[in-house]
A = this chain, B = another copy of it.
Amino acid sequence: MTLAALSMQPAHASLMPQPARLSPGEGKLAINQSFRVALSGYQEPRIHAATQRLLDRLARQTGMPLVTELERDPGRATLVLHCDRAGEPVQSPAEDESYRLKVTATGARLDAPTPVGLLRGIETFLQLVEVDRDGFTASAVEIQDQPRFPWRGLLLDVARHWMPLPVLKRNLDAMAAVKLNVLHLHLSDDQGFRIESVKFPKLHQRGSDGSYFTQQQIRELIAYARDRGIRVVPEFDMPGHATSWLVGYPELASLPGPYQIERAWGIFDACLDPTREEVFEFLDVFIGEMAALFPDGYFHTGGDEVSGKWWETDTRIEVFRRERTLGGHQDLQAYFTRRVQAIVSKHGKTMVGWDEVLRPDLPKDIVVQSWRGQKSLVEAVRQGYPSILSHGYYLDHIRPAAFHYRVDPLENEAAALTAGQKSRILGAEACMWAEYVTAENVDSRIWPRAAAIAERLWSPQEVRDVGSMYRRLAAVSRRLEWLGLTHRSSYSLLLQRLAGDSPVGPLQVLADILEPLNLGGRAKARHYTSETPLNRLVDAVRPESDTAREFAESVDRLLAAPAESNARDRIRPRLELWRDNHLRLSPTLRRSFLLQEVTPLSEDLSAISAAGLEALNHLASGQRLSPAWLEGRKDLLKRAAQPRAELQIQVVAPIRKLIEAATRKF
Contacts and interface: CB of A to CB of B under 8 A. Distances in A.
Nearest to A493: B481
Contact of A497 (B61, B133, B496): B61
A9 B489 CA distance: 29
A593 B131 contact: yes
Contact of A500 (B130, B497, B592): B130
A64 interface: yes
Contacts of A593: 131-135
Interface in A39-80: 60-65, 68
A583 to B, nearest CB: 11
A539 B64 CA distance: 12
Contacts of A501: 6, 9, 14, 130, 474-475, 478
A126 interface: no
A534 interface: yes
A345 interface: no
A535 interface: yes
Given A3-B587, A133-B596, A593-B131, A63 B482 contact: no
A494 B482 CA distance: 10
Contacts of A594: 131
A14 B500 CA distance: 12
Given A133-B593, A593-B135, A63 B440 contact: yes
A144 interface: no
Interface string A516-533: 000000000000001101
Contacts of A62: 497, 533, 535
Interface residues of A, number: 49
Contacts of A496: 478, 481
A591 interface: yes
Interface string A475-509: 10010011000000100011011101110000000
Contact of A591 (B133, B530, B531, B539): B133
Contact of A493 (B132, B134, B482): B482
Contacts of A7: 587, 591
A633 to B, nearest CB: 29
Contacts of A132: 500, 591-593
A539 B65 CA distance: 14
A90 interface: no
A33 interface: yes
A474 B496 CA distance: 12
Interface in A88-116: none
Q: Which of A210, A474, A594 has the most CB of B within 10 A?
A: A594
Contacts of A591: 7, 131-133
Interface string A115-143: 00000000000000011111100000000
A4 interface: yes
A560 to B, nearest CB: 24
A537 to B, nearest CB: 11
Contact of A531 (B65, B210, B475, B500): B65
A33 B593 CA distance: 15
A590 interface: yes
Contacts of A135: 593
B63 A590 contact: no
Q: Which of A9, A497, A592 has the most CB of B within 10 A?
A: A497
A120 to B, nearest CB: 23
A221 to B, nearest CB: 19
B64 A590 contact: no
A210 B530 CA distance: 46
B63 A533 contact: yes
B14 A65 contact: no
Nearest to A130: B500
A86 B60 CA distance: 45
Interface in A193-213: 210
Contacts of A481: 493, 496
Contacts of A134: 593
Given A7-B587, A493-B482, A497-B61, A131 B592 contact: yes
A505 B593 CA distance: 31
A498 to B, nearest CB: 7
Q: Which of A133, A481, A590 has the most CB of B within 10 A?
A: A133
Contacts of A592: 131-133
Q: Which of A3, A210, A440, A475 has the most CB of B within 10 A?
A: A3
A4 B587 contact: yes
A132 B590 CA distance: 8
Contacts of A33: 531, 533
B533 A497 contact: no
B64 A533 contact: yes
Given A6-B501, A131-B594, A502-B3, A60 B440 contact: yes
Given A587-B4, A587-B7, A131 B64 contact: no
A483 to B, nearest CB: 11
Interface in A568-620: 587, 590-594, 596
Nearest to A64: B533
B500 A131 contact: yes
12 contacts: A3-B502, A4-B587, A63-B535, A65-B530, A68-B210, A131-B592, A131-B594, A132-B593, A474-B501, A478-B496, A481-B493, A482-B493
Given A64-B533, A131-B498, A134-B593, 10 more contacts: A7-B587, A33-B531, A63-B497, A65-B530, A130-B500, A131-B500, A133-B591, A135-B593, A478-B496, A481-B493
6 closest A-B pairs by beta carbon, nearest first, are A63-B535, A131-B500, A64-B533, A489-B489, A131-B592, A3-B587
